[in-house]
Structures are given as C-alpha cells and as structure tokens.
Chains A and B, each alone.
Chain A
Amino acid sequence: MIQLRGRVIFRGKARGQALVSTTPIGFLGGVDPATGVVVESGHSLQGQCVAGRVLVFPTGKGSTVGSYTLYRLARSGLAPAAILNARSEAIVAVGAIISGIPMLDQVDIAQIATGDTLEIDGDTVTIGRSGTQEKHEDIKPQRHKGMT
C-alpha cells in the first residue's frame, strides 16, 4: 500500500479505479458530456469512459468553457469520482469546484497506474493494488478484471 500526498483543490472523500492519462485533458470537445467518453481524436484515453473513475492526468488544457463540461458530467452522474493532477490550472480546478468533484494537485502521478484502486481522503491518496501484494504482478489483476 502506497500513500501519496497532494494539495487540496476541492476537499472530499472518494474511492475508485484509476484511469491514467500521461497527456493533458481538455474537456470542451475532448470528453462527450452525454456519455463521459473521451472523444479527442488521438488522445491516449480515446474511447475510455471517465465516469466513476479517479481521473489522473498531468494538467488541463483548452477552452475555459470546459469547466462547464465537467459540471454537465456531474449532473448526469458521469463525472469522475475524483481528479488528481500533477499541476492544476483554472479550467479543471473551477470545473471540479462547481461540480463538487474531490480534486488534488501536486500529486506524484507517475506512481499511479490505470486500474489501481485509489482512495482519496483530504490531501491523501492511498493506492491499493487489488489482488496482488507484489509490484511486479501489477499487470495481472487488470487482465483478470478484463475477463470477468
């Protein structure tokens, strides 16, 4: 079990499976507000749904109207469970605040892999790697999950 610390942008508790992007996310035009699916062409998360996941990405990008896309996702129950950034900026921060999505920045996001079970409480992120205690088996439980 690993614990990471971050800076609170919007305080809250959340639990969910990590969905990790190594590149910035722009919500306006980048995530479909009706489905929660990343639609930006060529994006590393294209086709993945952000709903209920702990969305982990370096920073935001694009139009400031993207804050409202997050709000719309939240209204439809399709918002991420929480957001973790390396470096926060205004668009995603404002979106998280108006939508009530727990958010931290200054998080060492390289420690987190897609599929990790994350627990966010205040400024602390706890990484649980379900089904395995050994780091080198990280990939395995994800494969199992895919099959069940």
Chain B
Amino acid sequence: MQLTAEERAMLAGAEGPAVQKAMQIVTALGEIYGAEGLVPIGSAQIAGVSFKNLGDAGLEFLEEWAAQGARVRVPAFMNPAGMDLQRWREMGLSAEFAQKQQRVVAALQAMGVEPTCTCTPYLVGHVPRAGEHLSWSESSAVSYANSVLGARSNREGGPSALAAAITGRTAAYGLHLDANRRPTHWVEVRCPLRSEADYGALGYWVGRQVGDGVPYLRLQDRDVRAAPPRQEHLMALGAAMAASGAVALYHVEDVTPQARVVATFAAPSGVPTTAVVTTHLPTLVVDDLSTAYAALDSPLDPIDFVSLGCPHSTLADVARTAELLRGKRVRTTLWITTSHGVRERAEREGLVAPIEAAGGHVFADTCLVVAPMEELGFKAMATNSAKAAFYAPSHSGLQCRFGTLEQCIAAALSGHWPGPPAEGSARS
C-alpha cells in the first residue's frame, strides 16, 4: 500500500500513540482488503455508542484512547445511544445504565465527536456531497449516504470509523472504488408499494436474497411510477436491506442519483440499458410482499408497546403522528424516536405537545434497537419499521406486529392490532 510521507510519520508515531494506533487500524484494514492507498474523508459517523452494546470493555477502551490524546480531525458524529440523554428517567431506565452511558458519550466528546446521537445525520445538517469519501458506520446511514446522496462509504465498525476520524483518512477499498458500485442483482418490483412498511418489507426480502450485493431496483407498478418514493420510503427500504442482508448501496431506476451512471457501466453504447443489465445480472422478481410480511409480522394480542422512528423519524413523520394523535389518548406505551435536532424543531412547531398530551413520548438520541429494552419488560411490540421488526426478537426479546404508521397508531390507541390498511390491501 502506498502511503504519503505524512501518513508514514503518523504510523511511525510522530503524532503520538493515539494517532499511531488509529493509523495502524486504518492501514491494517487497507492491507486486509487490498487497498492501494488511503483517501481523505469528509466526515465520520461513529457507531458503538450504546453502552448496551459496548459494555465495560468498550467504555474502558474509549476512555483510554481519549486520555491518550485521540482527537478527530474531520467532522465526526455519534450514532444513537442507549437512552435519551435528557429523558432517560422518562424511559424507565436505571441510573446505573445512565451513568455508564453518559461516560461513553463524554469519552467520545473528549475526542471531538459531536453528540448528535442519530442514525440520520443527513437530517440534521450533516449532508455529504456526491462523491465524497466517508467513514460512516451505522448500516442504514451508510446505505442512505451511498445510495440516495451518492457519497462513498464502506460499512465501518465503530473503532474503524473512529480511527478514520482520528487520522482523517480511510483505506480506498470496497465502495470507495467505482468498480464496486455497479449493480450485482437486477430486481423487478411489480407489486404496488403504498407505505413505508411496504418499502421496508420489500427491503427485508431483497436483503435476504442479495446479501452484501448491490441491487438495482426497477419499480414497475403504475402508481409507484406516478408517485416515486419519498425520503421516508427510501430510508425504510435501505435500512431493511442493510439489516436482513448487508446491503450498503442500492440503486433505484429513475430515483437514486447514480442509477443511470451505473447502468451505463454495464451497457455498450446504443443498447437500451435495462435490457443489457437484465441479461447480465441475476434477476429477482417481486410480485407481492406477503412472504416478507409473514416473516416480520407475528399475530400478537394485546399490544403493550408501539415504537416508531427506526431509522429516526423525520419532521414530516412526527407531524403525521401528531395529527393522528391530536385530542386522543394512547393505551400502550408509545415511543417516537428521533434525533434531538428534529425533536427540537418539532417542539418549536408545536408537534411534540399533542403527542405528549395523548400520552406518547418523543425520545431523542436513542431507539429500541440500541436501548436496553430487556430492562423495561414489554411483551408485544408494534412498529412500522421492517428493520426494527427484524432486530427486535433477537436484540430486545420482543415479538412484533409490523405494519403502517396508521396501523401502529391505531394499535397504540386501542391496545390491539387493527385490520389491514383500509384503502386496498398493501399485501396483495
């Protein structure tokens, strides 16, 4: 691997042991994955923030690295923590957990990592440029940055993203290189997609099929072509593919920015792109979503916990939820999880008050995937997130109902799962 003089000096310890260790990590990964050199990164998003996942081992390591003088040299920001940093008592968590969690955040802050505590940094001002190299680690954030924003990031582990932030560089392999951003699977989606739950279910199924491939999706339903996916739909789709598979990049024809570019890589000039790609790639056809729903949605009753906001809710989703709850009263515990940036905006716009008046909670900085749910004793959860429904049984010991945001709110209000969505079944 080719290193610059500055990089070699960092590796030799010229900038101290903290930088040396970071450079050892960055260069070792470069060697392992066959990189020819390093590239400067625009930003780093650091996972491994929740004390639930880090444990004492991770906490000790972060505190020690910070004490050694480790400091980030590019903008770096945290993934969700195990709790709302302000409202953890309202969540019902123990002081012991909260204290350890606060130490994790303090150690990362000492290194200069911003306590954004979100999987959606792109909703709170950290929007990478197309083509920019990044070291992001949360899988849905990586997917969104690569696919929807056209930036370039591998799925980093927590320590490797932090090492990249400390050195300002990452090894140029994987999705940093053009050759690895081309599609590996062609996915014909013929069924309607009517909600974020439908996009999540589709993502769950595609992720299971393609593993760590790069799917190229063609949404053929007439209504979908007339009304292309919204931001929330793409977030749900990407998060689910990254959870059930290891998809860090996908393309949607006529929707995501690189879809046209990658299609032309595969197509000789003058030949209709889609035909060529179809011929050369393994093809998957999605006619309906019933298999995906069957895997994610368990028939549970009653419901005692409803969780929205995985990935973290957008302002529009908080507004939708507030509208559905206005003047009503929930019977279950209801969490809407989001970034504190979005929560503050929602509060200013009067969207938090109606949710809290209905008995719901808007929590920042955390989500059910990384919070210590086992401390809270819920039995049956409802969610509109395919990613949450996929992880909850193994990470949180919770079985799930899975459906639209409207179905989830109905479940929160009655304590029971409602029938299928009113306007034509989403699960044809």
State the A residues within 8 Å of B (CB).
7, 9-10, 33, 63-65, 67-69, 71-72, 75, 88-91, 93-94, 97-98, 105
Given contacts A9-B32, A64-B48, A90-B29, whether A98 and B57 have CB atoms under 8 Å apart is: no
Question: Which of B105-113, B118-126, B153-161, B247-255 is the interface stretch?
Answer: B153-161
> Is B15's CB within 8 Å of the partner chain A?
no
Chain A residues whose C-beta falls within 8 Å of the C-beta of B24 in the assembled complex: 10, 97
Given contacts A33-B57, A71-B57, A97-B25, whether A64 and B32 have CB atoms under 8 Å apart is: no
Interface of A is mostly: helix
A-B contact pairs, 24 of them (CB 8 A): A9-B31, A9-B32, A33-B55, A64-B47, A64-B48, A65-B54, A65-B55, A65-B158, A68-B48, A68-B55, A68-B57, A68-B61, A68-B159, A72-B56, A88-B32, A90-B32, A90-B157, A93-B25, A94-B25, A94-B157, A94-B159, A94-B160, A98-B61, A105-B32
> Is B53's CB within 8 Å of the partner chain A?
yes
Are the C-beta atoms of A93 and B48 separated by less than 8 Å? Answer: no
Chain B residues whose C-beta falls within 8 Å of the C-beta of A89 in the assembled complex: 32
- CB interface residues, B 53-86, toward A, < 8 Å: 53-58, 60-61, 65
Nearest residue in A to B58 (C-beta to C-beta)? A68
Interface size on B, residues (CB 8 A): 24
B21 contact from A7, A68, A75, A97, Cβ within 8 A: A97
Chain A residues whose C-beta falls within 8 Å of the C-beta of B160 in the assembled complex: 64, 90, 94
Chain A residues whose C-beta falls within 8 Å of the C-beta of B61 in the assembled complex: 68, 71, 98
Are the C-beta atoms of B159 and A64 separated by less than 8 Å? Answer: yes
Are the C-beta atoms of A91 and B32 separated by less than 8 Å? Answer: no
> Is B14's CB within 8 Å of the partner chain A?
no
How many Å from the CB of B48 to the closest CB on chain A? 6
Are the C-beta atoms of B157 and A64 separated by less than 8 Å? Answer: yes
Chain A residues whose C-beta falls within 8 Å of the C-beta of B163 in the assembled complex: 94
Chain B residues whose C-beta falls within 8 Å of the C-beta of A65 in the assembled complex: 48, 53-55, 58, 158
B57 contact from A63, A69, A91, A93, Cβ within 8 A: A69
Given contacts A65-B53, A65-B158, A67-B157, whether A93 and B29 have CB atoms under 8 Å apart is: yes
A97 to B58, CA, bound (A): 14
How many Å from the CB of B161 to the closest CB on chain A? 10
Chain A residues whose C-beta falls within 8 Å of the C-beta of B48 in the assembled complex: 64-65, 68
Chain A residues whose C-beta falls within 8 Å of the C-beta of B29 in the assembled complex: 90, 93-94
Chain B residues whose C-beta falls within 8 Å of the C-beta of A97 in the assembled complex: 21, 24-25, 28
